[in-house]
Structure 1
Amino acid sequence: MKKSKYKIAVLVCIVLLLLTVIISLMVGSYQMTPGEVIGTFLGNGDSMQRFTIYELRLPRVVLAVIVASALGVSGGVLQAVTRNPLSEPGMIGINAGAALFVVVWISAGTSAYYSELAASKAFFMPLLAIMGSLLTVAVIYLFSYKRGIRPVRFILTGVGVNAGITAVISFYQLNMSKGDYNQVLTWTNGSLWGSSWHYIIITLPLILVLIFFILFRSKVLDVLALGDELAMGVGVSLQREVLFFLILSSCLAAIATSVAGNIAFLGLLGPQIAKRLAGPSHRKMLPLSAGVSAVILVAADTAARNLFSPIEIPVGIIVSIVGVPYFIYIMLKGK
């Protein structure tokens, strides 16, 4: 019965993702019908349709799926390691640490907008983001460690670090030109408007490798989620495994942040919904979390592009509108 429920959940997730992708490819300032979208993929579209799909909308949708998958898996790992359903990379400062390093990098010695960055700058963005996130995790770990990692202390320390880094980013923005300030402000609130195939080529291999390693060790996550005493009782090297998964989840969140900005609450929504559908097994829950997060982000980005067209609002704001009530619900429901 449980296997049947999981298969149905996966099938529904795939169908919803396909529907949201098709809708996202259809709507915009240049409207297209489902037949025109499918015809363009089959090679029957005109030049305008091909340009709209392949150069503007499809890279954005693909990058949204990649980013959402990384954040969904990252959030699921953090919740297992800390044994706290409120853990997610945007809330505890991991995304902010990555964003700080990338903001400094993209604004250093250039006035170019994010979509116009040179290939050399774009190539180093994930690496800088990983450095920023790992440094943030190190700070959180050191301040929250006291004979082990306690979930509440870890979360509260992360919230404090997140507030501090956000303040530093805001202070840094004061020294920017008006154009750069508006650009970075949009980006730090989460934005996919600068998407291109170039960013997909850079980020996709890294994210796939990290997710593979996490899924390969997913049984360890199952044990860690049960508690420190049980994990040590079955021979798990607790602190080593915690550090291992913290590093991998931080790298995932950092790479996603480097190309899409700070999208908070997605790493909370995806894993929580997936856990209700797939159960506690991380081998099943984490891939489903990636799929659920992808559906949410593609739908949110479609809304962000079209609700107030021609003005585009940051996709992170749309995700937060959904995520904050769910966060409050989980907080009130918990003991």
Structure 2
Amino acid sequence: MIDPSILKKQRTVLMVFSVLIILTAVIGLGMGYSSVSYSRIFPTIFGEGTFKEEFVLFSIRLPRIVMTMLAGMALAVSGSILQGITRNDLADPGIIGINSGAGAAVAIFFLFFPVEAGVFVYMLPAAAFFGALITAVFIYIFSYQKSVGLQPVRLVLVGVGFSMALSGVMVVLISSAEREKVAFIANWLAGSIWGTDWPYIMAVLPWLVVLIPFTLYKANRINLLALSDSVSVGVGLSIEKERLILLLAAVALAASAVSVTGAIAFIGLMAPHLAKSLVGPRNQVYLPVAILIGGWLLLLADTIGRNLAPPEGIPAGIMAALIGAPYFVYLLLRKV
């Protein structure tokens, strides 16, 4: 039974972050290299804008904003799952190497498996998932000891090692690639939101529509997995089976996000922590809050980044790292 006061607080926090997302999105719609007057945004949305205004909003700004929010939400849920099943507050798909695995797979797919543009859009999340899954399996194997089970600190260290190794693989791939393809991979590594067309959104959306409700459904299982193994077994939970299923969900969410946004780290770390600090550690309560916080954080990072140095801007991944790296150090020092 969840305390009614906590549920009331959750509703308030959800409302606050919903408003923040809307405000940030509206600000982002008007700002950019081709600015649109704020007084013209809503008339344009309702079909009363000029061709230029409609093109800027519907073909450039709006799909980028939607994609950024979806990616941030996916990374937040992925980070929440990883922190729960590993019992490690420092777990994040970007920090422990899962995003790097997805990136290496995306680069290999992009460089060596030329396909038609229409097919490429939908194959990209699948390729990213394959690479992230292989990476996650190896990280899990090297972090697991039969006598003590999964070791949280070792998981982070092994994940960081894999992340660095895969970054080296990406450098090797870049050195052997054509010039125009190098630019794509470099943008991906920097965390530049590049999949900003509606087809990319339609390719990623099904993954989120299925996996986010699935994670919310599994929220109580994640609560139990965050406890000791003896407690989880005592209530009849199949630990390894549930861990594996939820790990697959976390990997798929992270891969679907980074396949179109690039190497985004720290969103999956910060969003769950901020949500827990606001409404408490129960997954049923904080997961919906983390989803909105993740969407807002990445949207904010991208909105600030693309307007700091127009027309190219600063990649959202770099802005997220500028915010998240000090927070990671703070959490690390607190754990020590």
- TM tier, smaller: over 0.9
Q: Does 1:48 align with 2:43?
A: no
TM-score, length of structure 2 as denominator length: 0.95
C-alpha distance after superposition, 1:61-104 (max 9, x if no partner): 00011111100000011001111111000011111111111111
Residue type at the aligned position of 1:330: L
Please, which runs of 5 or more residues in structure 1 have no aligned partner? Answer: none
**In 2, are the aligned partners of 1:94 and 1:250 still within 8 Å (CA)?**
yes
Residue type at the aligned position of 2:277: R
- Residue 309 of structure 1 is matched in structure 2 by 310
Q: Partner of 1:91: helix, strand, or coil?
A: coil
- Residue 7 of structure 1 is matched in structure 2 by 11
The count of corresponding residues between Structure 1 and Structure 2 is 330
5 Å-filtered alignment, 1:69-84, equals 69-84=73-88
- Residue 33 of structure 1: how far off its partner (Å): 2.8
C-alpha distance after superposition, 1:235-293 (max 9, x if no partner): 11111111111111001101111111110111001111111112112122122111101
5 Å-filtered alignment, 1:11-30, equals 11-30=15-34
Q: Partner of 2:89: helix, strand, or coil?
A: coil
> Residues 89 and 180 of structure 1: is their aligned pair in 2 closer, same or farther, counting only changes over 3 Å?
same
Q: Distance in 1 between matches of 2:195 and 2:138?
A: 31
**In 2, are the aligned partners of 1:187 and 1:314 still within 8 Å (CA)?**
no
Q: Does 1:332 align with 2:336?
A: no
- Residue 294 of structure 1 is matched in structure 2 by 295
- Residue 280 of structure 2 is matched in structure 1 by 279
Q: Does 1:185 align with 2:182?
A: no
- Residue 183 of structure 1: how far off its partner (Å): 2.2
C-alpha distance after superposition, 1:10-56 (max 9, x if no partner): 11100100000001111011222332111111221111111111000
Structure 1, 297-306 or 319-328: larger mean CA deviation:
297-306
**In 1, are the aligned partners of 2:194 and 2:262 still within 8 Å (CA)?**
no
C-alpha RMSD over aligned residues: 1.4
Please, which runs of 5 or more residues in structure 2 have no aligned partner? Answer: none
Q: Distance in 2 between matches of 1:247 and 1:34?
A: 42
- Residue 221 of structure 2 is matched in structure 1 by 220
**In 2, are the aligned partners of 1:16 and 1:295 still within 8 Å (CA)?**
yes
Q: Percent identity?
A: 37
- Residue 85 of structure 1 is matched in structure 2 by 89
Residue type at the aligned position of 1:118: A
Q: Partner of 1:290: helix, strand, or coil?
A: helix
Q: Distance in 2 between matches of 1:48 and 1:306?
A: 19
C-alpha distance after superposition, 1:99-122 (max 9, x if no partner): 111111122366x9xxxx711122
TM-score, length of structure 1 as denominator length: 0.95
- Residue 239 of structure 2 is matched in structure 1 by 238
Q: Partner of 1:86: helix, strand, or coil?
A: coil
Q: Does 1:142 align with 2:146?
A: no
